[in-house]
Structure 1
Amino acid sequence: MTLEGDVSTQTEVPAARSGKPRRRTLYRGDPGMWSWVLHRITGATIFFFLFVHVLDTALVRVSPQAYNAVIETYKTPIVGLMEMGLVAAVLFHALNGIRVILIDFWAQGPRYQRHMLAVAVTVFVIALIAGLGVLGMHMTERFL
């Protein structure tokens, strides 16, 4: 039971074999929910990258030597892998953002949201394979 004004994320669902209802959460792991979560995570990741990028770029005006030292720390395989993650984050965020815009502004959007998610994920995987292939070739030239 919930008190008046208490918001619960659980619903009463009758049990399969007994008369007693069991509690079940509303968050069931639907693909739409996971795309919502990933959209927020990728947005925060992109924001963090842009914040760091602006800071290290502004460093060139303060001290060119310090800027060069920071840039040298970026020339490592770990940062190369982080660049691959950034490409994946930007790609997913862009494709899912287009899907969200279509859901919001196209009259038939809510009806086709699952289909659009499947298309967005398919395009994401194809573009990610191509993009990571190019980045992988670049990284092998630079680090091997």
Structure 2
Amino acid sequence: MIGSEMIRPEEARKRWRALEWAWTPGAGLRVVLQEIPRYRGRMHQWAWVVNRLAGLGTLLFLTLHILDTSLVYFAPTWYEHALALYRHPLFGLGELILVGCVLWHGLNGLRIAISDFRPHLWAAEIQARLILGTVIAFFALYIPAFVIMGNTILQKGILGR
């Protein structure tokens, strides 16, 4: 393949040994962060990483949402303060990030689900095209949402209209 480099088996074994050691419970975060970027999965690896980060971002939002909604029953005055805090423009920026997380996680999950039903789609070349299609679909859907939401945040939040 053009642009791919040859990795000798002993180099690969050394890297995997380092990764196995890095994922043990006593390993430091520094080792994990050093070894993961060395993996040569390229587009496939980054689609996986972004999918996990988007899933974690969505999970963080859902957790906070459940906790702050429970304040209605347990501490109504705190709930009112939370609502006032959520009107701040920085939380609007968080909503923009949340929409991106949900959109990417959903589109990439759809790509994976379709590939699961059609095993021949798991070939690396086909997956590269499907990932590229996922990225294009993401930007085609996210840019209009970003513009509309960003305009609302600017108009109502920062400009105070």
Task: State the TM-score, normalizing by the size of structure 1.
Answer: 0.80
Q: Kindly, what percent of the aligned residue pairs are identical?
A: 32
Point out where structure 1 has 5 or more consecutive residues left out of the alignment.
11-24
TM-score under structure 2 length normalisation: 0.72
The Cα offsets for residues 102-132 of structure 1, whole Å up to 9 and x where unpaired, read as: 2222132213211110110001011110110
Aligned residue-pair number = 126
Task: Report the equivalent of 2:150.
Answer: 136
Q: CA RMSD in A?
A: 2.1
Higher share of residues assigned strand = 1
Query: Is 2:68 aligned against 1:73?
Result: no
- Give the equivalent residue in structure 2 for 1:87: 99
Moved beyond 2 Å, runs of 4+: 7-10
Partner of 2:134: 120
The higher radius of gyration belongs to 1
Give 3-state SS (helix, strand or coil) of 1:120's partner.
helix
* Inter-partner Cα distance in structure 2 for 1:72 and 1:135: 19
- For 2:119, give the aligned amino acid: A
2:63 is matched with: 51
Given that 1:9 and 1:26 are in contact with CA atoms closer than 8 Å, whether structure 2 keeps it comes out as no
- Residue 98 of structure 2 aligns to which amino acid in structure 1? L
Q: Tell me, yes or no, if structure 1 residue 38 matches structure 2 residue 50.
A: yes
**Unaligned ranges ≥5, structure 2:** 1-9, 20-36
Could you say what secondary structure the match of 1:137 adopts?
Answer: helix
Which residue of structure 2 lines up, in the alignment, with residue 21 of structure 1? none
Larger RCO: 1 or 2 (CA < 8 Å, sep 6+): 2
